[in-house]
Amino acid sequence: MVQGFPDMPFRFSEWSRKLPTRCFRALCCKGPPPPRPEYDLVCIGLSGAGKTSMLSKLCGESPENVVSTTGFSIKAVPFQNAILNVKELGGADNIRKYWSRYYQGSQGVIFVLDSAASEEELETSRKELHSALQHPQLCTLPFLILANHQDKPAARSVQEIKKYFELEPLARGKRWILQPCSLDDMNAIKDSFTQLIHLLEEKNPEPVRM
């Protein structure tokens, strides 16, 4: 019995069709580049901190037409070595109480604050960051804290923010990055995202990053 014989001409033609690709791969010892890893992140912070504008700019979109985020929005932000699926949660007073419902599945946290905000707003921001750092679904994850609006004269320095937000005692033993930034300086923002990706990739993380 010659099972499969009738198939041979077809199989041969398929094999020969793929031959140039196979030879090329064998000679060059490489196939297509491996897919970039994807990480799911949650992005929080009060309204006006600059979350949407920053994420839009990172995606190559114009931040000019940004509208206030009600509920949440998701963006896939591409970097050279990874794709970050960032879920931005609206920061308005009546929405913040629902933030924790959207934490599940997150692998890292981006917290954006306005360094030039009023005392009252900064205090609210501090409370929100503290509850995020202590939340059971987020407390073990890497945090990128962006002290945005640094271009404004009223902006607090990164040292003032670190002290005011009591980051050293509160985030001790956690993996976190505190980055002063503004929408005008995307390089600093991109660098801090690259550091965050390193933290996401780490299997045996060092305890604290500043």
Ligand X SMILES: Nc1nc2c(ncn2[C@@H]2O[C@H](COP(=O)(O)OP(=O)(O)O)[C@@H](O)[C@H]2O)c(=O)[nH]1
Nearest to ligand X of 63, 205 (CB atom)? 63
Q: Is 149 known as a binding-site position? A: yes
- The yes or no reply on residue 125 touching Mg ion (CB under 5 A) is no
- The yes or no reply on residue 53 touching ligand X (CB under 6 A) is yes
Q: How many CA atoms lie within 13 A of 139 on its CB side?
A: 8
CA distance readout (Å), 196 to 22, 130, 155: 38, 19, 24
Residue 103 neighbours by CB under 8 Å, 6+ apart = 42, 135, 137, 138
Rounded Cα–Cα distance for residues 171 and 90 (Å): 24
- The yes or no reply on residue 148 touching ligand X (CB under 6 A) is yes
Q: Is 108 known as a binding-site position? A: no
Handedness of CA 90, 92, 96, 98 (dihedral sign): negative
- The yes or no reply on residue 56 touching Mg ion (CB under 5 A) is no
Which residue's Cβ has the minimum distance to ligand X? Answer: 50
Cβ–Cβ under 8 Å, residues 106 and 40: yes
- The yes or no reply on residue 183 touching ligand X (CB under 6 A) is yes
Least Cβ distance, residue 44 to ligand X (angstroms): 9
Contact set for ligand X, span 85-114 (CB under 6 A): 91, 112
Q: Is 3 known as a binding-site position? A: no
- The yes or no reply on residue 115 touching ligand X (CB under 6 A) is no
Q: Is 47 known as a binding-site position? A: yes
- The yes or no reply on residue 43 touching ligand X (CB under 6 A) is no
Residue 148 binds which entry of Mg ion, ligand X, none, CB below 5-8 Å type-dependent: ligand X
Q: What are 41's two structure tokens? A: 């992140």
Q: Is 105 known as a binding-site position? A: no
Least Cβ distance, residue 85 to ligand X (angstroms): 17
Contact set for Mg ion, span 57-76 (CB under 5 A): 69
Q: Is 148 known as a binding-site position? A: yes
Contacts to ligand X by CB under 6 A: 45, 47-53, 63, 66, 68-69, 91, 112, 148-149, 151-152, 182-183
Contacts to Mg ion by CB under 5 A: 51-52, 69
- What residue numbers does the annotated binding site cover? 45-52, 69, 91, 148-151
